[in-house]
């Protein structure tokens, strides 16, 4: 397969540039082989406004992939669908449209799931040609592979957290819908993460297994290490060394402590991943 894959960050917690803004969330435009794929949609219509400010047309998307069902990755879905000139294929895990709540430190239950409007769009197939319920590895537009549900095998990654599927916050949400995407570049495997609730090491191990590779060239996105203890951070750094990762773009929910750890451990291999950041990889 010839050509390049271009990744543009449309939504992230941070931004730099004229008329683009940040918000707590993530969205990427992935372009390859003439296909345009939106991976996540941020938490509001900012994904559309940032794209417009950057001169990016979202009306002709081919596919939309959702990493999981939290508001900060799906909140802009309806706004994106409203921009479409045609229809798209959408890829998400069945659990992504389920109820999702978070328990705050003050013991307050907060709804953090997908909006009713977004769920209704998916259920009624508004602007959607095909809705693909992804639980296993699945190819998108002959370019990307979606991991589907990631096996939880490590004993040091807290893949839970204060997440629940009921408003009383009694039944844990195991976040089965968490998934990432990856592709094979001429330099090696490139992994793009949403929030990585499955654990970054679990995710990299699974991608390496699916790709049949003992090396991963690039890892970009949210790694959910906000509250990771030192032992987990050390083992995470060891995993990145084991896979000989040459480009690391921590974003969104990675957490400042973990980001600093990456920059200290890997130096120039780390890249800034903010709104407006662009990455390009040659396809193998």
pLDDT at 159 over 90: no
pLDDT band at residue 270 under the 50/70/90 scheme? very high
Phi, psi of 116 (to 5 degrees): -60, -35
pLDDT tens-digit map of 204-255: 999 999 999 999 999 999 999 998 999 999 999 999 999 999 999 999 999 9
Can you list the positions of beta strands (E) in 93-176? 101-103, 109-111, 128-133, 138-140, 144-146, 163-164
91's enclosing H/E stretch is: strand 88-92
Contact call for residues 175 and 198 (beta carbons, < 8 A) = yes
pLDDT at 160 over 80: no
pLDDT at 12 over 70: yes
Size of the chain, expressed as the number of residues it contains: 284
pLDDT at 62 over 70: yes
Domain ranges within the chain, ordered by starting residue: 4-282
pLDDT band at residue 125 under the 50/70/90 scheme? confident
- According to the model, what pLDDT value does residue 284 have? 80
User: Mean pLDDT over all residues of the chain?
Assistant: 95
Residues 65-102 as b/e (b if ≥16 CB within 10 A, e otherwise) read bbbbbbbbbbbbbbbbbebbeeebbbbbbebbbebbbb
Residue with tokens 């040609």: 129
Q: Which residues is 104 bridged to in the sheet? A: none
Phi, psi of 175 (to 5 degrees): 55, 45
- According to the model, what pLDDT value does residue 263 have? 97
Q: How many helices (H) and strands (E) does the chain have?
A: 7, 16
How far apart CA 81 and CA 126 sit, in angstroms, is 8
Written out in words, the top-level CATH class of the domain with range 4-282 is: alpha beta
How far apart CA 35 and CA 6 sit, in angstroms, is 10
pLDDT band at residue 77 under the 50/70/90 scheme? very high
Contact call for residues 250 and 270 (beta carbons, < 8 A) = yes
130's enclosing H/E stretch is: strand 128-133
Contact call for residues 205 and 215 (beta carbons, < 8 A) = no
Mean pLDDT of 254-263: 97
Phi, psi of 154 (to 5 degrees): -70, 150
Model-level pTM? 0.97
Q: 3-state DSSP call for residue 165?
A: coil
pLDDT band at residue 1 under the 50/70/90 scheme? low
Q: Which residues is 73 bridged to in the sheet? A: none
């Amino acid at each position: 397969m010839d050509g390049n894959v271009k990744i543009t960050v449309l939504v992230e917690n941070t931004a730099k540039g004229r008329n683009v803004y940040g918000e707590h969330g993530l969205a990427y435009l992935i372009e390859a082989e003439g296909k345009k794929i939106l991976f996540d949609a941020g938490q509001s219509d900012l994904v559309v406004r940032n794209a417009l400010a950057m001169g990016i047309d979202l009306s002709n998307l081919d596919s939309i992939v959702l990493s999981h069902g939290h508001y900060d990755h799906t909140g802009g879905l309806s706004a994106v669908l409203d921009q479409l000139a045609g229809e798209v294929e959408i890829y998400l895990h069945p659990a992504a449209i389920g109820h999702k709540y978070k328990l705050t430190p003050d013991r307050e239950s907060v709804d953090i799931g997908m909006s009713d409007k977004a769920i209704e769009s998916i259920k009624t197939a508004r602007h959607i040609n095909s809705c693909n319920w992804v639980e296993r590895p699945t190819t998108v537009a002959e370019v990307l592979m979606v991991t589907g549900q990631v096996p939880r095998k490590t004993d040091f990654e807290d893949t839970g957290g204060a997440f629940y599927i009921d408003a009383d916050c009694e039944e844990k949400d195991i976040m089965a819908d968490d998934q990432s995407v990856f592709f094979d570049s001429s330099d090696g495997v490139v992994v793009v993460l949403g929030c990585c609730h499955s654990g970054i090491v679990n995710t990299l191990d699974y991608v390496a297994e699916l790709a049949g590779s003992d090396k991963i060239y690039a890892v970009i996105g949210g790694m959910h290490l906000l509250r990771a203890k030192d032992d987990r951070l050390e083992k995470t750094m060891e995993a990145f060394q084991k896979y000989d990762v040459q480009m690391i773009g921590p974003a969104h929910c990675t957490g400042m402590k973990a980001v600093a750890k990456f920059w200290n451990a890997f130096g120039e291999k780390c890249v800034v991943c903010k709104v407006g950041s662009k990455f390009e990889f040659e396809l193998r």
